[in-house]
Amino acid sequence: MIATQDQLGPGRYEPHKVRRIRQIVQFVFLALFIFLLVKALGGRVIGSFIPVLSMSIAALVLTLLLGRVFCGWACPVGTLLDWVRFKRVKERKKQPPKQLRIIKYVLLLVLVAVLSVWLLLSPMDLKEVFHGRNMLVAVSIVIFTIAAIALNMIADLFFCRYLCPLGGVFALVSRISLRFRYVRVQCNKCAVCVGSCRMNAIDPRHQFESDPAECTACIDCLTVCPSSSIGFHFRWQRN
């Protein structure tokens, strides 16, 4: 049985309430993204470099403070893949090998290299790149979305776990983030949390702790833990 708020004690939050808040935040960000995308395809936003740069810096600072929360709470792709789940995958116990995670770092490296060379050789305004190509951008987004959803048939959040280069950036930064998930000593080793983690971030061989690079603070494991042993805290806080 999951503990009540009284049993949780002062200062500890109720996971189901936090999960509901997370769903609302995800919805708001997804709606905002769709709104901006529609405006962009109408030619009013694409090429605006400063807002993109500011948002990227804000997301990185947030990751440094709270871990990979952008992926779990705000990313529109993460939200979509979070919501579209396949029953067969849900019931499957076997997960793809963790070594596949390296692909997102390789893709990140390739992306950075290609962008650097391209900007060095032919610095071009983003507006020029996208000018007159709105239909191409729209079709690419649709194809990408279908492909990312199809990959969810292999494993939950397959794209987020193994392929997303942006996730690779956040994974690197979250290794040194100030806030992280921990497991209290009263953990009864039931392993329920392992099956609940769609990022496959929990390691049963290490006291059910999670890989900070992979945990997106989605709260799912907190909602299923029968002994309320899981929490998040800052590095300077104690259990």
Whole-angstrom distance, CA of residue 14 vs CA of residue 21 = 11
DSSP 45-91: STT-HHHHHHHHHHHHHHHHHHSSHIIIII-HHHHHHHH---HHHHH
Nearest distance from residue 15's CB to ligand SF4, in Å?
10
Residues that bind ligand SF4 (CB under 6 A): 181, 183, 187-193, 196-197, 199, 201-202, 208, 210, 215-221, 225-227, 229-230
Q: Give the DSSP H/E element, type plus range, for residue 233.
A: strand 230-234
CB-nearer residue toward ligand SF4: 169 or 230: 230
Nearest distance from residue 218's CB to ligand SF4, in Å?
4
CB-nearer residue toward ligand SF4: 59 or 197: 197
CB-nearer residue toward ligand SF4: 130 or 182: 182
CB-nearer residue toward ligand SF4: 46 or 82: 82
Nearest distance from residue 198's CB to ligand SF4, in Å?
7
DSSP 180-223: EEEE-TT-----HHHHH-TT--EEGGGTTEE-TTT-----HHHH
Nearest distance from residue 119's CB to ligand SF4, in Å?
34
